[in-house]
Amino acid sequence: MQCPICKTETHEQRQDTPYFVCGHCDCWFQDLSLPKIMHGDHEAPPEQMIEADKEINANLALALFNRYLEPLELWGARPNTLDIGCAYPWLAHSLYRLGCRAHGMEPGKQVEQWCSELNVKHEPCDFDDAEHNAILLGEEFHLITMVHVFEHMYDPLAALNKLRSLIHDDGVVYLRMPAHDVAGFERDLTEGHYTIHPFFHCYDSVMEAIVQTGLFTVESTYAVPPGCRDFILRPIIGE
């Protein structure tokens, strides 16, 4: 198998899992000919988000807004935000409540209904599909969020290219994903996780993808135990 990020050939597999292990960038990846599944049978329906998770999303929205978006409002600009893979769009809704133009990307009629109820503009497509370019033509975002979504992307390099095409030159991309270099990652070594996550990233694999594309700098990255990692990306401005 060939690593989808650095193209290194590997035959090594993580014991008792379907993941191949890249010896160069330490990306764990599955056979990408398998069908893509965004929501597993083991997961609760998105609209059944518990109050504690709503509070977590609201707190994340506030932290991102205060750090990156509030200065725009001081200059009279209304921040434009996009949550990719929004499912039940509480994060986007929380940004709307803070004064942002909030977009949520996820296919499905149910998502369209939830977005309408929560004052979020619905972008009805899968980010892996080229269709998003037509839907969002002319849009630039000050903040793009992908929370437990980047590991679903079948082509991480293409995903970074698409992100750069949508982010404002002064914008921020926020990624949170399971990471096998963070303590507690073993909780995601389950059949349900394998079904929906073609990748299991780490610091090295994401940094390799960023270096390969040359489109972003990493403002910060940090472990979020158990088993997750955040990345704050800033776009590189071309000459």
What is the reported pLDDT for 232? 98
What is the rounded distance in angstroms from the CA atom of residue 182 to the CA atom of residue 179?
6
Helix then strand count (H, E) for the chain reads 8, 10
Return the closest-CA partner of residue 219 out of 207, 233, 209: 233
Q: What angle do CA 162, 71, 139 make, to 5 degrees?
A: 30
- Provide the terminal-to-terminal Cα distance of the chain, rounded to the nearest Å: 37
Helix axes 51-64, 90-97, angle to 10 degrees: 50
Instruction: Flag the least confident range among 57-66, 67-76, 82-91, 145-154.
Output: 67-76
Query: Measured in whole angstroms, how far is the alpha carbon of residue 213 from the centre of its chain?
Result: 17
Instruction: Specify the residue for token string 């990846």.
Output: 29
Q: What's the pLDDT score for residue 135?
A: 62
Cβ contacts of residue 52 below 8 Å, gap of 6+?
none
Q: Are 161 and 235 in contact (CB under 8 A)?
A: no
pLDDT score recorded for residue 134: 55
Domain coordinates of the chain in residue numbers?
A: 48-186+204-235
Contact 228, 176 (CB under 8 A): yes
CATH 3.40.50.300 is right for the domain spanning 48-186+204-235: no
pLDDT reported for residue 89: 98
What is the pLDDT, as a whole number, of residue 199? 97
Residue 129 binned pLDDT confidence (cut-offs 50, 70, 90): confident
pLDDT by residue (tens digit) across 73-126? 656 678 999 999 999 999 999 999 999 999 999 988 999 999 999 999 999 888
Q: Choose the weakest-confidence range: 8-22, 35-49, 131-145, 220-234.
A: 131-145
Nearest CA among 172, 124, 166, 114 for reference residue 145:
172
Bridge partners, 94 (sequence order): none
Report the chain's mean pLDDT, rounded to a whole number: 93
**pLDDT for res 128:** 85
